Amino acid sequence: MAEAAARIAQLADELNQEDAPNADVLMIDYQEDGEPSSDKGKAPMDSDQLRVLQDALRQQQEALERHRSNHQNLESKVDKLDSKVDSLNDKFDILLAFLQKP
């Protein structure tokens, strides 16, 4: 998640740097009475910015899913190896007991 947030912040910075030379006037929109304040202080996004951010988020989500899948596969392999080691330890104990009998 932190990687996704960092990637989104990086893309936002890149987009802001691209738009900076074109921005001659800073427009500030003040909230009118009765308007919801959820968008207060947020710059409007154009469709290209939104598409880029959505693509970045989708890529991060896909990478996270692959990471989870790989982790689950590794975890199952570790469990199998652990049970095999336990089985070998049991067999080794049986062999030692057999060899120690007179």
**CB 82, CB 26: distance < 8 Å:** no
Return all residues near 31 (Cβ < 8 A) that are at least 6 apart.
37, 40
Amino acid at 63: A
**42-49 long-range Cβ contacts below 8 angstroms, 24+ apart:** 49/12, 49/15
Q: What is the pLDDT of residues 32-84, one digit of tens each?
A: 666 556 666 666 778 888 999 999 999 999 999 999 999 999 999 999 999 99
pTM for this model (two decimals): 0.44
Q: Which pair of tokens denotes residue 93?
A: 């104990």
